[in-house]
Amino acid sequence: MSIQPLIAHFERYIPLKETEEQLLEGRVTHRQIKRKQAILQEGFPCRHYTFVVEGCFRMYAVDKKGTEHNLQFSAEQDWIADIGSFHAGRPSALFIEAIEPAVVLQIEKQDLYFLYTNIPKLDRIFKVIVENKYVELQNRVLQSISSTAQERYLTFLDQYPKLALRLPNTQIASYLGITPEFLSKIRKDIAS
């Protein structure tokens, strides 16, 4: 498979030269992922930055009672990784699982560092990507401590308009920190 979707993604930030594209191609791995297949499991270090070409993933944690808590969704043209585990090399407390069959492009840590050194503009691009994810996280934390469930749902619809149609209610409810039944009530209230 071509890495063209990844090149097109990077070029939204800064154009790449042909030699840079060739360097990138040698450092990226293509994978097909089945529905419900994990690309990261709790207790193992995150070894890849994963770019989603097709499909959808969720990053989640499981509490002591066995309840799953969705932290992030990533679909086409987006990245997913446990960044802390990836850079520190320590075991992750998170899972990353495909919600639907997926095609991904992955970059391992040593390959990413090689690319940062040999294609300095990628270092800048990833800085912007991580900063954008950080802003998303700040907004999510603020929402969770200062917004009603309905406000959180409306923000979810604004942030993930296409995913709202693709995800089961249980996944969206977990992300919002509510029950699926309460999500149904919110949807009814909004519709009326």
| Sequence-ordered strand ranges (E) for the chain | 29-33, 38-40, 48-62, 68-75, 78-80, 95-108
Domains by residue range for the chain, with CATH: 4-122 (2.60.120.10)
- What pLDDT, on the 0 to 100 scale, is given for residue 191? 87
Please determine, for residue 8, whether its predicted confidence score (pLDDT) is greater than 90. yes
- The Cα–Cα gap between 116 and 96 comes to 25
Whole-number Cα distances in Å, 106 to 25, 31, 32, 173, 186: 11, 8, 11, 29, 37
Q: Which two tokens stand for residue 40?
A: 């990261």
Average pLDDT of every residue of the chain: 94
Flag whether pLDDT at 1 surpasses 70. no
- The position carrying tokens 């959808």 is 56
Q: For the segment 122-141, what is each residue's pLDDT rounded down to a tens digit?
A: 999 999 999 999 998 999 89
Residues 6+ apart with CB under 8 A from 39: 31, 33, 48, 50, 57, 96, 97, 98, 104, 106
Q: Give 27's DSSP letter.
A: T
Give the model confidence (pLDDT) of 139-186 as tens digits.
989 988 999 999 999 999 988 888 888 999 999 999 999 999 999 999
Contact 47, 92 (CB under 8 A): no
Q: What is the pLDDT of residues 96-132, one digit of tens each?
A: 999 999 999 999 999 999 999 999 999 999 999 999 9
